[in-house]
Amino acid sequence: MRPLEGQLALVTGASRGIGAATAKALAAAGAHVILVARTAKELDAAEQAIFDGGGSATIAPVDLSEVDGIARLGAAIGERWQALDILVINAAVLPPLTPVWQMPSQDLVRAMTLNVMATQALIAAFDTMLKRSSNARIIGMTSSVGQKPRAYWGAYGASKAAFENLLETYAQEVGAISNIKVAILDPGATRTAMRAKAYPGEDPASVQPPEVVADRIAALLTTGFANRHRERINQH
C-alpha cells in the first residue's frame, strides 16, 4: 500500500531526528519528499536511506534562518512542480535554557528567526503551490512549552507560542477559501538531539524514538484530519 503515491511533500529539518524519520515514512507511503535542512552531508544520508527503501526524494540544502533562501527554495520548487500537497514544518532551534532576566538578546532573536519568521516565509513561499493541490496539508511540530510556560524555557516557549499563533491564523484564513488543512502536533518526549541537549542526564531509551512520531504523521496524512487539528502524540 502506497497511499501517498503521486503526492509531493516537503519536510524541514529533514537531516535527522523527527524530520528524517518523517521523510522516510512519507516516502515509504509513496510521496516524493523534498528534504530541507542546512547540512548537505546529513541530507545525503537521509536521501540514500529513502532510495534504499524504494522511495524517491530530492535534497534541498537551505539555511531556513535566511528568508531570501526560503524564497529561492520556493521559486526553484515552483519551477519543477505544479503543486505542493504536504508541508511538514519541523525545523527548530532550542536556545540555551536561561532565566528571562539573563537571556542574551541574540538567543531570543535566533529562536524567533528560525522558529517563527522562517515559518511565515515558508507559508509565503508555498501558499500558491499549496492552493493548487486538491488536498493540501500542513503539519507544524510544536512543544508543550508553547502553551504552558516553563522556567528557563522562555526563548523557546515564546517562539513556539508565536509559531502556533501564525499557523492557527493561517488555518483560519485559508480554511474557507482553499483545500488547505493545518494541524499542530506536539510529539511529546522523543529521542532527538534537541531532547538530549535539554535533558543531558536522561536515558535516551526511556523516551520514544522519532519513528513513533513519524508513523503518526504518516497515518494522519493518509487518513486525513480536520482543519486546525491539534494533537499530542506522546501522552506520557
pLDDT score at 58 = 98
Does 235 map to a domain? no
In tens, the pLDDT along 158-195 reads: 999 999 999 999 999 999 999 999 999 999 999 999 99
All three cell numbers of 73:
527554495
Rounded to whole angstroms, how far apart are CA atoms 59 and 62?
9
pTM: 0.97
pLDDT at 142 > cutoff 60:
yes
Nearest CA-CA partner of 4 in 34, 32, 46, 23: 32
Residue 168: domain span: 8-229
pLDDT score at 51 = 97
Domain at 190, CATH number:
3.40.50.720
Nearest CA-CA partner of 145 in 131, 132, 158: 158
pLDDT at 235 > cutoff 60:
no
Query: How much is the average pLDDT of 149-155?
Result: 97
pLDDT score at 234 = 77
Does 37 map to a domain? yes
Query: How much is the average pLDDT of 16-39?
Result: 97
Does 213 map to a domain? yes
Does 48 map to a domain? yes
All three cell numbers of 104:
542574551
In tens, the pLDDT along 89-119 reads: 999 999 999 999 999 999 999 999 999 999 9
Does 133 map to a domain? yes
Q: Hey, what amino acid is at 197?
A: K
pLDDT score at 199 = 95
Structural domain count of the chain? 1
pLDDT score at 157 = 98
Q: How many residues does the structure list for the chain?
A: 236
Beta strands in the chain, from DSSP E residues, in sequence order:
8-12, 32-37, 56-61, 86-89, 137-141, 181-186, 229-232
| Choice among 152, 156, 170, 199 that is catalytic | 156
Q: Is 199 a catalytic residue?
A: no
pLDDT score at 32 = 98
In tens, the pLDDT along 192-216 reads: 999 999 999 999 999 999 999 999 9
Does 3 map to a domain? no
In tens, the pLDDT along 41-70 reads: 999 999 999 999 999 999 999 999 998 999
Does 220 map to a domain? yes
Rounded to whole angstroms, how far apart are CA atoms 185 and 34?
20
Does 142 map to a domain? yes
